[in-house]
């Protein structure tokens, strides 16, 4: 079953059709309903028509509509003793007979309704009778004859002489058995014919697990005020996790899409395209399309200035996080009070000459601390970064492909984060563990500095041991003990830059007796590289 529409709103407030088709007899019902009706309302429509005359179904094949997959619907189907079988996401060909029923009903309605299209509900019984009394090519008879044992009576039957009826009580049962055998044989022949045609026309599926693929952008939700026509045709590339189902060759696959995309991760192979990396950087400004950011909201980062005209309320020029100054805009005081009260309060204290709280303001170059617990369960709750760490994306096959523009932007974000904790925070801090594993990437592939477990406020906190990761520690630090300085963070950031450019590990051990440090080999690699 499925819902089609919306149609012109009828006087009974319905604007959709709930189509129900029996998979064996091909008997169809076209039930008027509201196109955006909730699950309980659809159950009432189904119960008052199909279940009242046919009984509870054994299996229900439907698409992945939120109403059919809701807890209410699943619990009700279980209580009926039925099983729910949702089709593949974004692949309506899985339930082809339902799509054909929709098309047939729409074609018949076009020929029957008035030009103003107000009587389409009154014409649904005519459409249903025409569909169920016509010979179905799959079963070789009409659905009405298959279900009732005889064709639909027509007005001509009143003038055509009727043949003598047999008094054998078993005649009707024999006729129904013959119809069932005939229908099953015809269905088997039709399925074999369609299978041969499909196998002859279908190309082998080229996708396997761990392959990088593009995913069609047609089924992704859109951000507010974004046109689908101007979006890239494909999103990704993303890695194939595994085939969906028992067959190793598909045709549907589970894709490792970005976590912030609220989409069912199983895609049919017709929605995928194999990713082929470029051997040469012939188009240096071309980059992979960014995944859509679907929340439709922007976060106010700071207030730049204010203005006021005559008796009108004061307007504030605000800067948004994750955006350039080109998108700065004027907002009213009421809008800021509803969305960014803390930013407004900080700006007003600053304008009055009062001291502003020294707590580090939320910045886009640091992973934000959202909460903590220091009682029974010791834990820290940080901002979620959907694309993992820089190290994961540079070296893992399951990571994203980072082009040069993204790599440069990530390096700039990490440098901005270090500058912020070294010079702008009060008090200033030294990170002491800067490495590619601690640079996390958000949904837009912007770098964020994280893991401040070893951080120290430089001027006051002395340490008697050295901390950090081997390969990122300056060699001078192994010979002296004292206050940590920003020099160690800057040295480690230089190693991260070599990683971004070369893709090499900070420590490489080709054999047990050989150890190469990227800090030593990086300048030589860059000096011999003609592409940098």
Beta strands in 308-403 (DSSP E): 315-320, 329-332, 369-374, 378-382
Q: What is the pLDDT of residue 339?
A: 76
- Read off the pLDDT of residues 477-525 as tens digits, 9 standing for 90 and up: 655 555 677 888 888 888 888 888 887 787 776 666 666 666 666 555 5
Q: Yes or no: say if 371 and 381 are a contact pair by the CB < 8 Å rule.
A: yes
Q: Yes or no: say if 484 and 456 are a contact pair by the CB < 8 Å rule.
A: yes
Q: Yes or no: say if 239 and 212 are a contact pair by the CB < 8 Å rule.
A: yes
Q: What is the pLDDT of residue 114?
A: 83
| 530 has pLDDT over 70 | no
CATH topology of domain 2-162: Nucleotidyltransferase; domain 5 (3.30.420)
Q: What is the pLDDT of residue 291?
A: 44
Q: What is the pLDDT of residue 14?
A: 92
Q: How would DSSP label each residue in 44-101?
A: HHHIIIIIHHH---SEEEE---TTTTSHHHHHHHHHHT-EEEE--TT-GGGGHHHHHH
Q: Yes or no: say if 268 and 252 are a contact pair by the CB < 8 Å rule.
A: yes
32-46, 325-339, 373-387 — most confident range: 32-46
Domains of the chain, by residue range, sit at: 2-162, 212-274, 300-351, 369-527
Strands 83-86 and 59-62: parallel
CA neighbours within 13 Å on the CB side: how many for 383? 19
- Read off the pLDDT of residues 326-344 as tens digits, 9 standing for 90 and up: 778 888 888 888 777 878 8
What are the two backbone dihedrals, phi and then psi, of residue 45, each rounded to the nearest 5 degrees?
-65, -45
Q: How confident is the model at residue 382 (pLDDT cuts 50, 70, 90)?
A: confident
Q: Yes or no: say if 451 and 391 are a contact pair by the CB < 8 Å rule.
A: no
Strands 378-382 and 212-216: unpaired
- Read off the pLDDT of residues 223-249 as tens digits, 9 standing for 90 and up: 655 666 767 788 888 888 888 876 666
- Read off the pLDDT of residues 263-278 as tens digits, 9 standing for 90 and up: 778 888 888 888 887 6
- Read off the pLDDT of residues 98-115 as tens digits, 9 standing for 90 and up: 888 888 888 888 888 888
Hunting for tokens 């008090």 — which residue is that?
427
Q: Yes or no: say if 492 and 499 are a contact pair by the CB < 8 Å rule.
A: no
Cβ-in-10-Å burial (0-12, 13-18, 19+) of 55 comes to exposed
| 451 has pLDDT over 50 | yes
- CA-CA distance, 5 to 15, in Å (whole number)? 7
Q: What is the pLDDT of residue 479?
A: 57
| 531 has pLDDT over 50 | no
Q: What is the pLDDT of residue 282?
A: 54
Three-class DSSP labels, 393-416? HHHCCCCCCCCHHHHHHHHHHHHH
Give me the long-range contacts of 451-459 (CB less than 8 A, separation at least 24): 451/367, 455/421, 455/429, 455/430, 455/431, 456/429, 456/430, 456/432, 456/484, 457/427, 457/428, 457/429, 457/430, 458/428, 458/429, 458/430, 458/483, 458/484, 458/485, 458/486, 459/427, 459/428, 459/483
Architecture in CATH of 369-527: Orthogonal Bundle (1.10)
For 300-351, CATH gives: 2.40.50
Question: What's the full length of the chain, in residues?
Answer: 532
**Cis bond before residue 235 (omega within 30° of 0):** no
- The percent of residues above 70 in pLDDT, for the chain, comes to 70
Q: How far apart are the first and last CA of the chain?
A: 59
Nearest to 455 by CA among 438, 477, 433, 431: 431
Q: What is the pLDDT of residue 162?
A: 57
Tell me the mean pLDDT in the region 156-180.
60
SS3 category, 30: strand
- CA-CA distance, 245 to 263, in Å (whole number)? 19
- CA-CA distance, 471 to 517, in Å (whole number)? 6
Q: Yes or no: say if 276 and 283 are a contact pair by the CB < 8 Å rule.
A: no
């Amino acid at each position: 079953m499925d819902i089609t529409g919306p149609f012109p709103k009828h006087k009974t407030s319905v604007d959709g059709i709930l189509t129900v088709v029996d998979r064996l007899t091909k008997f169809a019902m076209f039930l008027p309903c509201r196109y955006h009706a909730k699950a309980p309302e659809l159950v009432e429509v189904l119960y008052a028509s199909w279940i009242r005359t046919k009984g509870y179904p054994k299996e229900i094949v439907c698409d992945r509509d939120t109403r059919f997959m809701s807890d209410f619907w699943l619990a009700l189907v279980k209580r009926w003793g039925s099983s729910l079988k949702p089709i593949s996401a974004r692949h309506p060909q899985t339930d082809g007979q339902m799509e054909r029923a929709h098309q047939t009903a729409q074609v018949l309605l076009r020929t029957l309704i008035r030009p103003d299209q107000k009587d389409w509900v009154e014409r649904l019984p005519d459409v249903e009778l025409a569909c169920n009394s016509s010979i179905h090519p799959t079963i070789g008879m009409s659905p009405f004859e298959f279900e009732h044992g005889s064709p639909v009576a027509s007005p001509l039957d009143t003038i055509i002489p009727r043949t003598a009826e047999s008094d054998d009580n078993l005649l009707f049962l024999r006729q129904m058995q013959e119809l069932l055998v005939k229908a099953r044989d015809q269905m088997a022949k039709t399925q074999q014919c369609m299978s041969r045609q499909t196998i002859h026309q279908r190309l082998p599926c080229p996708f396997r697990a761990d392959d990088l693929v593009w995913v069609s952008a047609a089924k992704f939700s859109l951000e507010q005020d974004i046109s689908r026509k101007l979006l890239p045709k494909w999103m990704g590339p993303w890695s194939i996790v595994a085939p969906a189902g028992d067959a190793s060759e598909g045709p549907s696959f589970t894709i490792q899409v970005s976590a912030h995309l609220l989409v069912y991760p199983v895609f049919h192979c017709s929605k995928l395209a194999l990713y082929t990396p470029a051997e040469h950087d012939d188009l240096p400004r071309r980059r992979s399309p960014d995944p859509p950011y679907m929340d439709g909201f922007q976060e106010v980062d700071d207030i730049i200035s204010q203005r006021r005209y005559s008796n009108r309320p004061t307007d504030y020029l605000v800067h948004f996080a994750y955006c350039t100054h080109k998108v700065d805009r004027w907002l009213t005081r009421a809008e800021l009070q509803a969305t960014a009260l803390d930013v407004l309060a900080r700006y007003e204290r600053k304008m009055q000459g009062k001291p502003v709280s020294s707590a580090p303001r939320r910045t886009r170059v640091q992973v934000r601390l959202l909460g903590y617990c220091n009682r029974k369960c010791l834990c820290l709750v940080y901002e979620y970064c959907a694309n993992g760490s820089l190290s994961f994306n540079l070296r893992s096959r399951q990571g994203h492909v980072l082009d040069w523009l993204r790599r440069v932007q990530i390096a700039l974000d990490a440098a901005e984060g270090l500058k912020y904790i070294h010079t702008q925070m009060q008090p200033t801090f030294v990170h002491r563990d800067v490495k590619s594993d601690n640079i996390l990437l958000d949904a837009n592939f912007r770098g964020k500095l994280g893991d401040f477990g070893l951080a120290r406020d430089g001027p006051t906190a002395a340490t008697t041991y050295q901390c950090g990761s081997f390969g990122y520690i300056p060699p001078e630090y192994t010979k002296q003990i004292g206050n940590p300085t920003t020099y160690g963070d800057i040295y480690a950031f230089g190693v991260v830059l070599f990683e971004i450019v070369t893709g090499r590990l900070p420590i490489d051990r080709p054999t047990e007796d050989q150890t190469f440090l990227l800090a030593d080999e990086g300048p030589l690699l860059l000096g011999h590289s003609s592409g940098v």
